[in-house]
Structure 1
């Protein structure tokens, strides 16, 4: 679950710099999405440590799926896959 939260955090952050300054509202909205996902990651990590689980290794299939998602360059396709 934590890997999906990281992906949901990193993917929108990757596209913020590509938004033309004329579309300020779009950039601001995407930035709020990035902050929101960062809070989700923070909450998940805290909960894992408080429950004594900590961070674990990920399966290869999950890792390759997340890697493929992060390599996408098209925002609509990436957000659909996310």
Structure 2
């Protein structure tokens, strides 16, 4: 199923050129499309790190921005 992913939304907000990111990181355009358009795609930590470097963003801040909606399960 094709639906924009958290990474796709994040890059879209910043008007990032995915082809340029692919060239700078060594990721293929197909992998960039998968990571941004396929909700079942798994973003690896090293991919997030390289993408953050390519767009001049702190990797930790990028991670926090993309996944801030995740919460721990409340223990009873």
TM-score (norm 1): 0.30
Structure with more helix by fraction? 1
Larger radius of gyration: 1
TM-score (norm 2): 0.32
- Larger RCO (CA under 8 A, 6+ residues apart): 1
